[in-house]
Amino acid sequence: MRRGISVSRRGMGDVSNFWPVAILVLLGAIYVQAQSTNGQVSGIVNDSSGAAVVGAEITATNTATGVSYSNRTNDSGVYVLPQLLPGQYTITVAKEGFSTVRRSGLTVRTGDHLSLNFELKPGVVQESVTVTETAPLMNADQSASASVLDNKMITELPQLNRNTLDLTAVTPAIQGQGPLSDQIASLGANGYLIANNGNSYSVAGGQVNGTNISVDGNQVQDQEFNATNRSVPTPDAVGEFRVESGILTADRGRYSGGIISINTQSGTNQFHGRAFEYFRNQIMNANSWTNNAANPIVPREPFHQNNYGLSIGGPLTIPHVYSGRNRTFFFFAWEGERFSEGVLTKNSVPTVLNRQGDFSQTVINHDTNGNPIFAQIFDPFHGSMVGGNWDRPQYAGSKICSQTDISGGTCPAANVGLSTQSTLFANYLALWPLPNHAPDAGSDHANNYWSSINTTRPTDRFFGRIDENLSNSHRVNFSLSRSNLTNRIPAPFLNGGGSTTTDYDWSGSMQYNWVVSPTSIVDAHLGFSTAKLYSDGVSGYGAASNPNIDTNTWPFDPLILNNPSRETNHIAPALNIKGYSPVGGSEYDTFVNQDVNGSVAFTKVLKRHTIKTGYEHYLLRFREKGGDHTGVAWINPGGGSNQFWNNNDGLTGSPLAELMMGSSNFFQWGNWDIQPYGWNESAYLMDDWKVNDKLTVQMGLRWDHDGGRQPQNAHSSSPIMYDINAKNVLTPNSGWDWSQVTGAVPQLAGLPQPAWLSQGATGRVVLLNTPEYPQKNLYRTDWLNFQPRLGIAYAINNDTVLHASAGIIYQGLGGLSTDWFSFYYNSVTFNQVSTLDGQHWVSEFGNDHGLGTFPLQASGTNLGYFPPIRTNKDYGFQTFGAAASLDQAGTTIGHFNSPEDYSWDISVQRQLGRNWVATADYTGIRGIHLLTPVWGWSLNNIPLEYYQLGSHLNDQVPNPFFGQSQVFASQPTVSLSQLLGLSPQYSQVSPGQATWGRSMSNFLSLQVQSRGYHGLTLLGSYSIRKTLTNTAGKDIQHGGPAGMGLLQNPHNLMEAYGVALYEMPQTVLLNYSYELPFGRGRKFLSGTTNWAQRVLDGIVGGWAVAGVSTWNSKGTPVLVHNMDTGATAPGAALRWSLAPGAGVKNSNSYSGALVANGGFVHQNAQGVLNSTAFVPTPDYGLSNAPFVFPHVRNPGSFFTDATLLKRFHWSENAARYFELRMEAINVFNHANFGSIDNDPSSPTFGGILGKGVCSCNLPRTMQIGARLFF
C-alpha cells in the first residue's frame, strides 16, 4: 500500500493548501522543544471566518492503549493537551453547530511540543483526515533543537554494549565518550572508577559532562561526581531517546549545551513481548593492528559473552477480578549478560640475582643507542661532605650484602659497613614468585612471570513500568529500574593483587497529571536514584588473606602494628615499586549515592498565552567508606639509591634496591567514612505565546540555587575548608627576619620581599563546626541565579521556519566532589619522611639502622605520623609545614560561584517534498565561572620574578616558623621556595576544584533528514565546532590544563585558555535504517497467498540494514609533552621551547610516519612533527611555545557500525516475527591511525603510534543475535 495522506472530501471545500500545511505542522519537527519526557499537542481552533471557536472539545486517543486525553478551547480558541505518552494518536475536534473533524495517525514523540490548528465549518457533516504514520520532521513553532530515536531505530542500530547512552553517538550535537561503565573491561583493577567518573559528552559546544540526563523525567546523575546511574534501562525497554540542544524553555535547567531525555516503553491494550539472545567470542572479531604488527603475531585473547533477556507488556489483568484494558498497563523487561575472558597476564618480579642483593644486571634505562644502562647503587644511610657536596658511597658490584654474606665472607670488602639487606624486606621477597618466563628484550625483569587468569562479569538489569488512568482528568505512571554487576579479576599469583567490584543501582520515577479544568493543569513528579558500589582490590592492591602470613611477627614500627585502622595480620601492606608488580595490600572503597528529586508545575491557558510555573527540589546524599584493611595505603621506595639527591636522571639507582636497603615511604591517608548531604532547588515562570499562526514567542525566567552540602555524621569524618582570606595564620619567631634569608641566598638582593611579610601569612585549612568556624556547610554558593530565556519560531512560509533564541543557563554544581577535598578522616594518617635535607636519612623501612619509621622528635611527636585530632589548634599543629590536608592533595575552598552559560542560537529549516527536511543550526555559548579541576595546582605558587633564582629556590634557609608545628619541629631550615608565596605555612595547598573556568564555543550543524522514504530513515549531518577554554570537564576526572600541570605560570590560569584539548573540529555523521524493498509488505515480491510466494518471501523478504558512519576529518589538537628532565619552580611546568624560525610540522603524511614495536615502520621515515623545532628550555626558564598546537592535529577517524537483519513472519500479525541479526562495530575493520608521539625526547617523536590503538577505534567486533517478537 502506498503511504500518503488521504482526505475524505465530505463537506470539505478546497484542500489544495492543505498538503504543505499538513507536512509542515504534522510531519515536521525533529527540532522541537520538550516540556517533559512526555509530549504535548496544542493549537488554535477557528471557524471558517477566522474567529475563535470557544468551548470546542479536543480529544486525543492513543491508538495502542485506547486511552483518551480531552480538553476544551478557551476564549481565544486555544487548547492544550499535555503529558501525552509517546505514540500514535487520533485527534477529534467537536463543537455543537460545527462539523466534527478527525485526524488520525498523528505521532507524538518524547518531548514533542506540537502545534496543530483546526478550522471548523458550520454544519453537521463529519470530516475525516487520515495522516501517515510518519513522525514529524520539522518544527513549526518551537525555538530549540532536538533529535529523537524511536524504539525501532534504537533496537535496529548496532548495540554491542547494550548501553542505551551509546545512542548519543548517532546524534549530531554530541561529541565525546559515554560513561566508563561501557569500558569497565579496560579498567582492570580500577573498576571502581565507574562510580566517580561522569561522561565525556559535550553537547553543541557546552562544557564536557555538563549534560543533564533523565529517564521518565527523573534525573539520573548524582551530585557528587555527575556520574550516571548504571540502572538506565536497556535499549529494549526504551520507547524513545531524545537529545535537545540550544536554549531550552525555563522549565529546563542545570545543563550546558543540551540535555538527554529517555522515555521508557509502556504497555498497550494488546499483549506484546520479545525474547532475545546475543552471542560474542573472539573468533568473530578481527585482530588488532598492533597485535598483527608484533613479531610474532599476538593472537586474540579468548573470551565468551552471552546477552539474553525478554520483555513483555500489555493491560494489567487479573482474570475474573480486574481488567486493565483502556485503563491500566504494565511493561517488564529483564536482560542478563555473562562475560568471561581468559587473560594471559605478564608480571614483573624480582630476579634470582635481585633476591641475593645483586643489582649488577638490573636494567634501569637505555642510552640513545638503545644499549641497556645497568643499575649503580648508592647508600643513602651513609655519606659525608666532599668539596661542598654530599657524597654517597657506592656499592661495589651493585651488591647489597646480607648478614649471611658478611659472616660467610662473600660480601665485597668495600661494601662492609654499608647498609645491609633489610630484615623486613626479606619477608616481602618471599611474597613474589620466582620468574617463570624470559624477560622482555633489553630488560632483566620486565614481564618475567606469566600466568593465566579468567575474568568474569555477570550482569543483570531489570525494568518495570505501570501506567494508570484514574480518570480522564487524573493519570499516573510508575517506573523502576535495577542493575546488578560484578566484575572479578583474579590475582595473577598468590599474594598478588586481585580485584572484585560489585555495583547495585536503582532508579525510579512517578509522574502524575491532573487536568483541573480546560485551562488549568497540574503536573507533579517524584524520582529517585541509588547507586552502591563496593570495590575490593582498588588500584590492584587486593591480595587475598593468607593464613601462612602473620605480619604481627614482622619487624614493623610499633605505630604501624598498633594503628586502629589495621584489621588484618594475614595480608601484608602493599608495596608499590615502579617496574615491579605489586604484592600485598587490601585496599577497598564503597560509594553510595542517593538522590531524590520532586517537582510540581501549574499550567494556565489565558487567551493565546500558555503560562507555566513550577518548583523543583533535589535532595542529595553521598557516603564513601574505604581505606585499607592493613592500616597502610601503600609503601613506596624512599629514594636515595641514586648518586645525587633530587637528580633522578635514570642513570643510577633502583627503587627495588632502596627498599632492600631500608629506604621507604609508608603512606596512609586514613580509613574514611564520609557522609555529606544537601539540597538544590529551582523555580521558573514561562509563557508560550502564540502570537498568530506564523509566530510563536517563548519567554521565561528561571531561578536555581545549589545549597552547600554538610556532613550527616561529623564524628566519622570532620568537614574542612580552605579559608582563603585568613591572615597572619602564623607569625615568624622572635629574632627571625628576612635578612637571615637574604644572607643565606645573596641572589635575593634586588628582588622584592614576599608579599606575606607585609600582608601576613594568608590562608588556612580549618575544621568546620568548631567554635572558630561554626558553619556547617562545606562551602557557600550564590543565591541570585536568575536566568532569562527568550525564543521565537517564525514560519516564513509553509515550507520554511526560522528559529532564534537567547538566554542564560545555570549549569549547577553537579560534579563538585566533596569526598576528596572536604573532609578530615578522623583516623591515623602518616607520610614517612625519609630525609629533611636530602642528605641525612632519618627514618627507615624496619629497624635495621635503629632509626625507626617514625622517629620520635624533641617535641614528643613522631616525625611523619599524625594521630587523630579534633580542634583547629591541633589540626594546624599537624598540617603547617606540610600539604594543607593530610588526607588528600586538595581542600575545598569556601565559596563557589555559579557556573553559567550565556547562549544564543539561530536556525532555519526547509521542508523538501513530503519526506525530507534540511536544517542549518548555529549555537554560541560563552561560559563563565565554570567548575574545573585544579588539583596539583597550588595556591602557594611562586611568583614569576623569583624564577631567576634558579636552583637557589631549593636552598635551605632559616625557618621563621621553626617549632610551631609538628613538621616544623624538625625543620630549623626550609626550602627557600616555600617562603616566597602567600602561604609559607604550607608546602602546597590546592583547592581541588574551583569555579575559575571560562569558555567560548561556536557550533554549526547542517543536516538533512528523511523518515519513511521508500523504507529509508536517514539523518545526515555535517558539524563544525570551535571551542576555546581553560578547562576540560566539570568533574574531578577531567583534569584540564591546570589540573594536568601544564602551566608554566601557575598564577595565570588564562595561560591555559585556548583550543579545547578534546575538540574535534569537523564531523560528518550518517545514521540510517533501510528496509530492502522485497517481500511481505514491500514494493516487490510482496505476495504471500500461496506456498511458493511464502517460500520466496522467506528467502528474499524481511531484510534490513541499519548503521552509523562517522568521519572526523581531523583529530584533537596536539599537546606537547612537558620536559622529563630539567628543573623549574615547584608547581610550574617546564615545557619545550621552539627554535627560532623552525616550523613545527615536518610532514603531512601519517602513513609515512607510522610507528610499531618502538620504531618507525618505514626506513628513513620522518615524523609529522619537526624534531629540530623543539629545543630544551633552560632550567627555571619560560618556554616560548604554547602547551597545545591548535593547527597541528592528531589523525582523524572513519568508522562504520552496522546491523544486518532478517525477519521471518510467523503470523498474519505483522508485529509477530522471528529475527536473526548480525551486528558489528567498525564493520569494515578500518584501522584508523593512532595519535602523534608528542614527546620530543622520544626516538619516534612526531610518529604515528600505530593504528586502532584507542578504545574508540577497536578492530571489527561482531556479535550475532536472535530475537522473537510475539
Asked whether residue 126 falls in the same domain as residue 227, the answer is no
How far apart are the C-alpha atoms of 1024 and 103, rounded to whole Å?
40
How far apart are the C-alpha atoms of 598 and 619, rounded to whole Å?
9
Within a domain: residue 615? no
Residue 981 in grid coordinates: 608565596
Asked whether residue 71 falls in the same domain as residue 92, the answer is yes
Domain end residue (candidates: 560, 589, 618): 589
Going by C-alpha positions, the residue among 535, 577, 552 that lies closest to residue 631 is: 552
3-state DSSP assignment of residue 1101:
coil
The label of the residue with cell 544537601 reads: 678
Going by C-alpha positions, the residue among 1262, 1267, 1268 that lies closest to residue 279 is: 1262
How far apart are the C-alpha atoms of 578 and 569, rounded to whole Å?
25
Within a domain: residue 808? no
The whole-number pLDDT of residue 17 equals 36
Asked whether residue 51 falls in the same domain as residue 168, the answer is no
How far apart are the C-alpha atoms of 500 and 587, rounded to whole Å?
11
Angstrom distances, CA of residue 934 to CA of 676, 777, 989, 1243: 22, 22, 11, 32
Interior CA angle at 707 toward 705 and 712, to 5°? 160
Give this prediction's pTM: 0.87
Asked whether residue 41 falls in the same domain as residue 118, the answer is yes
Residues 849-891: tens digit of each pLDDT: 999 999 998 888 999 999 999 999 999 999 898 776 665 567 8
Going by C-alpha positions, the residue among 310, 328, 245 that lies closest to residue 791 is: 245
The whole-number pLDDT of residue 3 equals 31
Domain end residue (candidates: 99, 126, 143): 143
Asked whether residue 104 falls in the same domain as residue 175, the answer is no
Q: Identify the domain containing residue 13 by its residue range.
A: 6-143
Asked whether residue 56 falls in the same domain as residue 201, the answer is no
Asked whether residue 461 falls in the same domain as residue 530, the answer is yes
How far apart are the C-alpha atoms of 360 and 890, rounded to whole Å?
41
Within a domain: residue 299? yes
Domain end residue (candidates: 143, 174, 199): 143
Residues 459-507: tens digit of each pLDDT: 999 999 999 999 989 999 999 999 999 999 999 999 999 999 999 999 9
Within a domain: residue 1063? no
The whole-number pLDDT of residue 131 equals 42
Cα torsion 1156, 1159, 1162, 1163 to 10°: value is -170
Q: Per-block average pLDDT, block size 10, for the chain (1270 residues)?
A: 30 34 31 56 86 91 89 88 88 88 86 84 60 51 76 90 90 80 72 79 92 94 91 94 93 94 93 95 86 82 91 94 92 96 94 97 89 94 81 94 94 95 97 97 95 95 96 94 95 95 96 91 96 92 95 97 96 96 96 96 93 96 95 94 69 94 94 93 96 92 94 84 91 95 94 94 92 93 96 92 96 88 90 87 94 92 92 92 68 92 96 90 97 83 93 93 90 92 89 92 95 89 96 82 85 89 94 91 79 81 94 92 88 92 89 88 88 93 90 92 93 88 93 91 90 70 94
How far apart are the C-alpha atoms of 720 and 891, rounded to whole Å?
7
Asked whether residue 465 falls in the same domain as residue 546, the answer is yes
DSSP conformational letter for 233: P
Asked whether residue 125 falls in the same domain as residue 170, the answer is no
Asked whether residue 102 falls in the same domain as residue 208, the answer is no
Within a domain: residue 582? yes
If one counts the domains in the chain, the total is: 2
How far apart are the C-alpha atoms of 73 and 138, rounded to whole Å?
25
The whole-number pLDDT of residue 614 equals 97
Asked whether residue 315 falls in the same domain as residue 277, the answer is yes
CATH number at residue 78: 2.60.40.1120
Concatenating the DSSP letter of every residue in 191-219 gives: GGGGTS-----EETTPPBT--EEEETTEE
CB atoms within 10 A of CB 1124: 12
3-state DSSP assignment of residue 877:
helix
Question: Is there a cis peptide before residue 719, judged by omega within 30 degrees of 0?
Answer: no
Asked whether residue 134 falls in the same domain as residue 215, the answer is no
Within a domain: residue 76? yes
The whole-number pLDDT of residue 646 equals 53
- Using H for helix, E for strand and C for coil, what is the string for 695-750? EEEEEEEEEEEECCCEECCCCCCEEEEEECCCCCCCCCCCCCCHHHHHHHCHHHCC
Within a domain: residue 95? yes
Angstrom distances, CA of residue 933 to CA of 187, 199, 591: 22, 15, 20
The whole-number pLDDT of residue 15 equals 32
Within a domain: residue 84? yes
